[in-house]
Structure 1
Amino acid sequence: MSAKGIRCEGDYRNNYSPGWKFNHWELKSVPIRIEVGPKDMKANQIVAVRRDSGEKLILALDDVDSKIQQLLETIHDSMLAKAQSDLVQHTKITKNWSDFCMFLDKKNILFSPFCGETSCEDKIKADSARYNEFKEKFSTEKNLEYENFREAMEQIKAALKDEDSAAIDLPSVDIQDKATKEPEVKVLLALKTERNAHTSIVK
């Protein structure tokens, strides 16, 4: 196939499973994966797998170069047709403000007339930018979560350093799980476990 101008590469690494190698090359956007096993060699065939659809095709080795070339062209045409279809379906023309916002929320490409003034453009951006509301809410929630987390951290560390403490009162189990995964807390937990074990032996 290389002689026909088709770029190809064999993966003969023995330290990875077939599934791992399949995923590795799919992430690199290789359009066709060719599988050849002992049974395929006996049958004088290969298995070609399309990345775009996952379809498996059994191809005879006779004239396999031209078949792979045709398959590459088919994949190209199929992907192009899908991209063009998606573009058409997600391109909207509107003169109505409510439709404008609805189409925009659905991540469409919009064609809509406006006066061309910068102030008008800024107003359209501001009035249609719902993400600002969510951004502010998200930021507030994250800040609150972080403060709860830091508070939980301090409570855990204080309790672990206190030899007489038996329980730790925390805002939530989720925050406790996150806090106990911190390296500093892990060390204190280990020390407390060792201290408790030593106390049990002495008693």
Structure 2
Amino acid sequence: MPRRYSMQTRRRASEEARTRIFDATLDALVASGGQQVTMQGIAERADVALRTLYNHFSSRDELLTAAFTHHTAQTRAAIEALDVPDAAPEHQLQHIVEAYYARYEQMGPRLTVLLAQRDAPELDEQIRAIRRWRRTLLNSVVERAHLDGRLAVSATAALGLAYTLTSHAGWRTLLDTLDGDTAAAPRAATEALTSALFHQRPGA
């Protein structure tokens, strides 16, 4: 039993160290403005020995790829776990907006760095999968509103607008207009989408 406990403890410590290294990698990229970072700089930021870093990753490129994939996979898992409530389309859309904006806020500048990367096939596929999932979620809401006769615009226009406002770029643009008020952003996005996409209910 002590041996098994020791193995589990070492495995958990190793996973925590890798996560700390991944966080430090993206934070180093953010601090450098997306420019080149060194293994030494990442090791210092992660508070690990350079030798330890090389024990996990043989090169800077391998580390960058692993860090990108790790964080993008986390985002994908968080989004795919999103459970849209059985409610009116307006409320479903609000739920989706709030979930995505919360994730964008949580990731902060790290997500900007991730999305700015090029020539990383694994990362590109993860990002495409996240976008496909968001499109699927939004399309389900739009289709329901269309069937209920609630859409004030075409389904294509509704999906395009909802997709744009729930994107990371849409979130950042909205934040700029709101002076960085992250609490107001989801409310503003939901209000704009509800007003633009749906007919007002009688008596509303």
- Fold shared by both chains (TM-score > 0.5): no
More helix by share: 2
TM-score by length of 2: 0.30
- Larger relative contact order (CA 8 Å, sep ≥ 6): 2
User: Larger C-alpha radius of gyration, 1 or 2?
Assistant: 1
TM-score by length of 1: 0.30
